[in-house]
Structure 1
Amino acid sequence: MTNRESETAFDLRRDRVAGRWGLTREIVLVRSGPVLPMAGSDMDHTFKPHPDFAYLSGRGIADAVLAFDAQKNKWQMFGPRSTPDEQVWHQPAEPVGLPLDELDGWISLRSDQTVLEAWDDPKIQAGIADERVHKDELELSLLRTAALTSKSGFDWVYGNVSPGMTEREIQVGMEAEFFRAGAVRTAYPSIVAAGSNGAYLHYFYGQEDSLNPATRTLREGELLLIDAGGEFGGYASDVTRTMVVGAEPTDVQSFLWHLVLSAQELAIDRCRPGQEWREVHLDSARVIGSGLIELGLLRGDLDQLVSSGAVALFYPHGLGHLIGLNVHDAGGYPAGREPSSHPQSRYLRTDRLLEAGMITSVEPGVYFIDALLKDPAVRERFADEVVWDAVDPLRGFGGIRIEDDIHITDDEPEVLSGDIGKPIRIG
């Protein structure tokens, strides 16, 4: 795509968003956001622009403002200008649009118009989010490239990881390949969880103590759960694979791994326009629940096990989320939809009809979360539904999750991360 084609894509986005707003006289300010200082330091956190600003401008410059004059139906960019003193320490930001110090004067010439801050106005936010959920061709190109950077990292894992390596060693080796393949950064903190650590849904290095981070050494025959992805052009890739390392899977490992894969494959096939995501999620829970019954971990009527929350003890999260400029992207809950109180759906990040152009993750899983399984109140509540004598030996098992990024089209679902292998065993 040429630079001119890229600029045209942003012009079209702004036109569509302005059409959704339906404003006549207002001024809208969409800010990129400031650089945030680190507490107690003269250093700054790494800057990322507000995704609404990035979506409408294609720029990642701090302290910039994209202004919309509804009366004239015109957009104007304002960007900072670096002083010579600042350029002693830092490379200058590209001087986009008008100088930022002219913004106040530009607004004062429109003193009879109401100024709306995009970040603080629900209608303005909703108008942008409603466009961001449908990815255009430029976005799809960036998302596909982000998935390719992730493939490089996972390929390294498959070819190099063996028992005796630490989670941190694996993370460093994998992320280096993301970057070598063109990723600007990781799309989120990488989850590299060995053994029982796989039962923490968001297990990050250093999360428990940033000054004294722990890292587990991978043992032969353990599960290794990796949830990671590269970011390219601001767009995220979000991929999870779970493997047995250095030994043939046990019967239980193999059964649960194939159960999760089956739930994922059925859900991916349902990623089509007109499908209610909530129902796809609940159907994935029924697949997981039926397998847990077959394995002898649950007993009773399947639908009752889903509605009671018994299945959610082992599959507590939602099936997936929208992906784009954020790994958990905008638009998951459209107007009129509120989070559900259903035990199986209370962590659902998306609840809407699927539409062509959306990108969603599909990531069912099974986990043995000790904090839940040892809770006396939980054990009493589910005494008739959970076969505790069968479950208790699996405490410490960890978790299994398999995740891909899906582009919903008017034809077959496109699996953006489909070239990344899914081995049950490595090493």
Structure 2
Amino acid sequence: MVLATRQNVQKVLKNFNKKEGVIVVKGKELKERDDTDVEVDFRQESSFYYLTGCAEPGFSVVIDVATERIQLIAPPVNPDDVVWMGYPDSLETLQTKYDVDEAIYSTELDARLKAASVVYTIPHFNVTFNEDVKAASEEDNKALYAAICEARIIKSDWEIEVMRKANKISSDAHIKVMEACTTNINEADLYAIFLNESNRHGAFFQSYMPIFGSGMNAATLHYNKNNASIENPTDMILVDAGCEYNYYASDITRTFPVGGKFTEEAATIYSIVLDMQKACIAELKSGAKWEDIHTTALEVAAEGLIKTGILVGEKQELLDKDVVAAFFPHGIGHMIGIDVHDVPKYCTSVERIDRPSYRYLRMRRTLAANNVVTVEPGIYFCEFMIDPVVKDEKTSKYINKEMLNKYKSVGGIRIEDNLVITEDGSYNLTTVPKEINEIEAIMEEASSKKRKLD
């Protein structure tokens, strides 16, 4: 399948306020692990893939700013590589395969760059040019990267469809994990089920290191040991996992009871998190500010924790004192695309909000149509985060220790979906169920089938 990456090039050039010169972007090289002849898993550089659709090692691309002409730069044919890997595509095949104007070998690259009035590249590539090449300034290269970032976060319809496929594969894998969950197994068993389901549908890479945290392991935000025994049926297990399909990411989290039935305490906290997510999703639309969405999550969390009796005091005072951050320390979500934490994180003109409730926001920006974002609120009973608030004489009065102890065993709960922003709202790419009754029904049906087989 030929990807419509020429559209991506045109979007970048529209954002890049230059009239002449060429852009050169290098792809990744195939590398070996340490002092061995074992190859490290190859994953193409994201911006290069965005511009070309080429997932092969050793390639570069040259784009003429004035004419929009695209040249794919291929590594020369190496006889040793042919012995092991077979003969590579011809230049003619590459031209058609990647919808470029021309494919040439890298032996011609220096001459091409020397002929250009100026050569732009992505700053973090640290590309060293021949002294005869007129390299762009650092400022202009930063402007190029900003143009690529702004293009990447506005998804084309075809990109969204690829992400829908990634979400479908991952959603089905999450359901398989729910169905298989029981006591006397290991987190690794569930991890293996998710990987197998992804691989079966052609998603051979995960978007990130998956998280399979049972019991108190779920209170660690990026827990990824994934090797603990699962023994208590009332424990919750947090599964944060998403496959990558055709280089586009998914990022989904579900939390459910090992034994298939929510305890009263788990159901209470889960319902707060679900309310947080629903309130945030209701505010998604073009023109909405991301930190305002996050503030909504904090407000709903405060209301829920006050209602349970864990927090004591007026909602606004708790928010002003950042007490809620002890239970919900991370941001409400992030952009997602070719990278799971897609560009940009923070624009150079936007500062982080330096207070506990907002410190870990992954971005601050106004949403636009065809942004794709995750919405992932959570509540966690992590002693490392909560104890300082409990012990601080300025904030200890806001926490009811008896009620806190009652709910600690819940561990951590997070719910995460992937959503496409529209002019007046959003739509959800994630299909795995998240209502309590839906989760319990899935797990009960699977348990019933197991009992009949036994």
Q: Does 1:78 align with 2:98?
A: no
CA distance in 1, matches of 2:63, 2:346: 26
Cα distance in 2 for residues equivalent to 1:385 and 1:313? 12
Which of 306, 313, 318 is the aligned partner of 1:300? 313
Cα distance change, pair 141–321 in 1 and its aligned pair in 2 (3 A): same
Alpha-carbon shift at residue 398 of structure 1 (Å): 1.4
Deviation (angstroms), 1:185: 1.4
Question: Which of residues 151, 154, 165 is equivalent to 1:134?
Answer: 154
1:100 equivalenced with 2:115 (yes/no) = no
What stretches of structure 2 of length at least 5 have no aligned partner? 95-102, 125-140, 448-454
CA distance in 2: counterparts of 1:308 and 1:92, whole angstroms: 64
1:46 and 2:41 aligned: yes
1:218-272 CA distances to partner (integer Å, 9 max, x unpaired)?
4211101001011111001111000012153222111111111111111111111
- Please say if 1:194 is aligned against 2:214: yes
The Cα of 1:32 is off from its aligned counterpart by 1.3
Q: Closer, same or farther in 2 for the Cα pair 1:68/1:378, shift >3 Å?
A: farther
SS state of the match for residue 160, structure 2?
A: helix
Question: What is the match of residue 132 of structure 2?
Answer: none
Deviation, structure 1 residue 123: 0.8
Which residue does the alignment assign to 1:211? Answer: none
Aligned equivalent of 2:340, options 304, 307, 327 = 327
Q: How far off is 1:22 after superposition?
A: 1.9
In 1, Cα distance between equivalents of 2:325 and 2:88? 48
TM normalised by structure 1 equals: 0.91
2:242 alignment counterpart: 229
Deviations 1:350-397 (A, max 9, x none): 211111101000110000112223448854452122223332454453
Q: For the residues of structure 1 that align with 2:390 and 2:282, how far apart are their CA atoms?
A: 38
Is 1:315 aligned with 2:328? yes
Change (3 A) 1:82 1:202: farther
| Higher alpha-carbon deviation: 35-44 or 272-281 | 35-44
Aligned residue pairs, count = 413
What is the match of residue 117 of structure 1? 121
CA offset at residue 331 of structure 1?
2.4
1:384 partner SS:
helix
Structure 1 or 2: larger helix share? 2
Q: What's the offset of the Cα at 1:204?
A: 0.8
Out of 153-162 and 375-384, give the one that drifted further. Answer: 375-384
| RMSD (CA atoms) | 2.1
| Segment of structure 1 superposing worse, 327-336 or 271-280 | 327-336
Indicate how the Cα distance of structure 1 residues 87 and 160 shifts in structure 2: closer, same or farther if over 3 A, else same: same
Q: Which moved more, 1:59-68 or 1:328-337?
A: 328-337
Distance in 1 between the 2:326 and 2:229 partners? 25
Q: Give, in whole Å, the separation in 1 of the partners of 2:250 and 2:47.
A: 18
Q: Compared with structure 1, are the counterparts of its residues 128 and 311 closer, same or farther at alpha carbon in structure 2 (3 Å cutoff)?
A: same
Say whether 1:173 aligns with 2:193: yes
Q: Which amino acid aligns with 1:222?
A: D
AA matched with 1:160: A
- 1:63: Cα distance to partner? 2.1
Please, which of 353, 356, 380 is the counterpart of residue 340 of structure 1?
353
Q: Could you tell me the percent identity over the aligned residues?
A: 28
User: Of 410, 414, 426, which residue of structure 2 is paired with 1:397?
Assistant: 410
Indicate the residue corresponding to 1:209 in structure 2: none
* Paired residue type of 1:114: V
- 2:210 equivalent to 1:204: no
Structure 1 residue 354 corresponds to structure 2 residue 367: yes
